[in-house]
Every structure is written in structure tokens, then in C-alpha cells.
Structure 1
């Protein structure tokens, strides 16, 4: 979900100062990030690049945030299709992004404060991507399997979302509440793929504080507010339920055509952990329903699926990294299991019952997983 969460930004700034640096395979020290690296220097008012043309193929973006605000960096293809991104880059810290980029025109955007369209620079990836033909067949298999997975998640979401929409349209408040969180699981598992299209996420998953000027609020969270805060279903809500299904079916039709590469899978896994850090652990994602924990689990499951598919190559190239990721995924699942509640509709305790110390423990677990996960893309980039 692309939304500015002011308190979340403040909360992750300190963590970013540690995890963003630790996650870098090669930090930009002002002397060059290495051959084939595009250096991105972000401030509160600028987004400077070491070059605006680079060879197509596996590209490393070495980012330094010299501003006073937490920032994020996006690489956009035409139509604002997201090729890759990295959120939560704290002031004074660095991050590295490895992405597979085809020849063509792109834009790199720095977003100080993690909001808006960002400060953009036009760039060009030239020539033919080197090494693509020699890619490890295991990576091709991973991409094919992941494509099946994201389509499966979309297909499974539609009937669950329809159950939710039907309850809203019938005016059944209790039934709609019970169906709400379960209707979102498939989306949460594969959110970076949906976000790559650029136009679907703002329709179905935006929060009130993420709306652009003039944008009408639609989607799950608008209905969430009606169900838990207003506690009644209006005629407009019933129309929004139909619109939600229209937009989700659009996602279902398009998700199979998403551009997926081994590095986009790895970066997407990291993005899912960023989603947990900025929305779920803080309790801001599901601020009315407090169903954050099932979203949390969905994000972790989606990240783990991408990792498991890439693991045969990652473990060969970086065995210590794979061992650490196995350890941290096991740990985060154990932490989530502490908050299960068989009596709730979604299987988890309401997040407003989770204490500050317990939230801190979850946050620490997310950071411990996010740090090695940030290195996964580089581990599979060579494909050797």
C-alpha cells in the first residue's frame, strides 16, 4: 500500500539507520559504487545520479540519503510501472538495490518523506541485457513457479472478496466484518506484483492518508472504516463493494502478465517486509479493524514463497545467507504463533490487545529478517 504514514516514518527512521546500512552488499562511499553501479544521491530537494545511461541487464543502484527525511527510491518503466523500489532509507544511511532492467527508457524517483510522485530523473538502459541467455535454469523455473503462485493467489482472492462484498451489499455488518480480513490474504501475499502496475493498488488498498489530491477514496480500507468506526453500511458503501470487485477482477486478469524476474522476486520479498515494518507492526494498516496480524502473516508468507523458490540458487551462491534466512523465517513464524486466537474470525488476536513490549518484539523480528533478505537479489543476480 503506497501511503504516507507519518508516525510510521518516524518509527522506522531509527531502525533504517541500522538495517539499511547492514543490508548493503556494497555501500556508496562517494568514490563510486563499483563497475555497473548507478549511484543515487537523495536529499530533501534533489535526486542526483552518477549516470543517466547504463547497460541493460543486472544493474546495481547504490543509494545514499543525505537528506533529513526518510526516503524511498523507485525505478519506473513507462506508465509508472514499478520495476523495483526500496523504502525506508533513513537520513544519513545507504541502501543497495539490484534489479534486472531491460533496454529502454525509465525514470528514477527519490521520494523524501515517502510521499508524492517524487523527484524524478529520466534514464536509459541501453544495449542488450548481458548474461540473460546463460541464466541458471533453476531461476527460470523459480520465475515460472512464482508466476503460477501470484495467479493462484489472485484467483483464490476473488471468491473470498465476493463473500465480503456480498455481506456489505446485504447490509450484514457482522458478516462483513468476519469476511473482511480473510478477503485480503492473497493480496497481502503478492502485493508488490499488484503494485507494479501502478494503478490498481491506489484503488483497492489505499488509506485515507495516502490519497493524492482529488483522489476519491475507494477500496478495502474505506469499507473497513465504515464497518468498525461508523458501524453502519451506507448506500455508497454498497456501491464501493461492487467497485472493489471490479478492480480486483482487473487485478486477477492482469497479474499473469506482470513482468517477473528473479531479482524482482527477491526485491518484492524485501518490499513485503517493508510493508510489515511501516504498517502492520505499527498498527496503522488496519487502524479500525485491528486485523494487522493476519496481514503480517500474509506478507511474511509471500516473502518466504519467493525466497523458497530462489533458494536453490541463493544457497549455492551464498550458503551463509540462505542459512540465516531459514533461521529468521522460522523465528518470525514462532513470534506470530504467540498471537494466534482460534476464536477470532481470522485466527489471530486483535492487534489492539498486543502490548508495546510485544510489538517491539515483533518489530525486532522483522528487522532481523529484513536485513539478510535485502541481500537476496544480489545473491541470485549472477545466476551462476
Structure 2
């Protein structure tokens, strides 16, 4: 199963909106076939492993990171392919959270006399697809908030200057986060201040699933813009990939202008504060098969996402310098009356990226999932 997980990881940047899946066929203590899902519409991992094994698949054990599908989607069901190939045992890392599959694939194979084992290396298998898992279970994408700060927690000087807080190595690492994401979300204030590209700038040769000449997949760029202040000459608009502007303004002329400039517009009723309802936007993105959302924004949007418990993971890059008390902070949300109101975090990982530190954390006790 560990090998199947390694194979699935090769599709980390290309399978969206499908889950990342790896499969290994073993017989007599040897691997006889293996495969991994590369992109939606292409063969699933099980079928590729079966093709690689050929006649040796009969009587083999199949190790699959995700329960084999049992319905006709873009490709035929993998359960039937495994049964036709004659495998005698199927070992599954995790059950498929997709209601069309959940448990049915396992039942189909058991009913055909195949031995089925589940929950093997479930943690690593589940970690492959946090967005697909959450979207299928809760109708929401997995949300990461990425922030860069000085060691004293400052993101910009008082005058707004912020380039560059972190090193080239840390900024390159962010592009790997972007590459695995389905969408990148920011606020219009960030766009007005920095005019960012919000695209993936990695060489295609670095991504294992891409063949020669294939472009890097660009996540959907999402701009939170309640009053539709998007500059029509924004740098991101003509770039490869799509841009979605989420607004509360129902002005056909302004919407038409933004659309003509190259962006799609989504209009929603305002929340209590007269702004785009962030949770409603995330639900809409999930309906569009968006699995993982990366928020790259200032303290207002980052703070709102944390305060509403919509964040699954924080990724914080800390640079080894100090910017002082007048510089801008990481999060902006309502004042706390007592220490008990603090937002508690659980540290997941801490490592050095160049001269900087990268810290990964989640809201303690899965607060975001409990309250969504």
C-alpha cells in the first residue's frame, strides 16, 4: 500500500477534480502491475495496473488507495475490471466518500467472492485527497490559508510595502501549493494593492504527470469583490487559466464590462455585513467540483475565514527578521474578551525552507468541520 500511495502522489497536480489514486497488483511476493490516475477522463489506476500485469493479474492481490469505483462516470467501473481480471483479494486504503460509490464497490467485490480488506494505511491514503473527501461529505472544499510574515507576525509595513518578506525558496514553495489547488482565492483589496498574477509558475518538467509540451494546469483564480471594483486591466485577466469574480453587485453594465475583460462573474446575496457570503461562495465552488482552495489574501479575508471556522489548514511562512509594532498583522477579526476566546491551533508540521520556516497547522479539534 505504501507503494500505491507513492504512485498516487504522482497525480497530485493533475487529477483535479478527480481524486489521486494509486494501485499495485502483487502475486507471489512480487509486484506484477501498477498504475496511477493521471487526469480526469483518462484510465483509472486499477485499469492501468491490470493492463501492466496482463495475465499475471489472475489470482493477484490489488492494493488500492481508494475504494474502486462501481459506477459509469467518465470511465467504466473499476470493480468490473478487477473482477474480469480475476484478482482474488483487494486491499483498500479508504472507502470512497462519493455517495455514488461509498461502500458499494466493496460490496460488489465481496458478493463476487473476492476477499476485501479495508483501512490499510488509511491516514496516508486519506491525506492524498482532503478536498475530494470534504467536498463529497460536506459539500465544501478543503480550505488552506497561506500567509507570509516576519518572525514577529507582521505581513507588511504600515505603508503597505511587503515585497519581499520571505525568500525565493519560500516563494517557490508556494507555487507547489498553488499547483495542487483547484482554486486560489483573494480579496479585491489585495488585487488593487499588488496586482498579483495568482498563477503557477513552475516548469512543466518538474511535474511528473505532464508529458513533453503539456502546460501546467492553472487553478481557478477567484476574486472576492463585493462592490465590483476589479480593474479591467488587472494583470491576471489575460493569463492562462480562468478568473471568477464573486460580487454582490447586480449591475448588468458593470458585469458585462468585467466579462468582456476576461472574467466570469458570480453574483450572490450579501451577508449581514453587506459583503459576499464566504461560506456560500465555498459551497458554490464545491458545486463546480473545486476540491482544494488556497486563500492568499490580507488580514481581513484571512481573519474572516478563520473567524467563521472555514479554514482547514494554515500554511505560514516565517522569515527571520523583525518588522516592529507599526507593521500590519496576520489576521483581522473581532476583539477577544478573554483568553478563552483564542483560536487554538494544532501544529501539523514545521520545517525550514531556505532561510525561512514553514509552519502547517489546523484549527484545534477540527473546529472548522464542527461548525461548518
Q: Give the shorter-chain TM-score range.
A: under 0.3
Name the larger-Rg structure: 2
TM-score for both structures, normalised by structure 1: 0.25
Going by fraction, where is helix more abundant, 1 or 2? 1
Going by fraction, where is strand more abundant, 1 or 2? 2
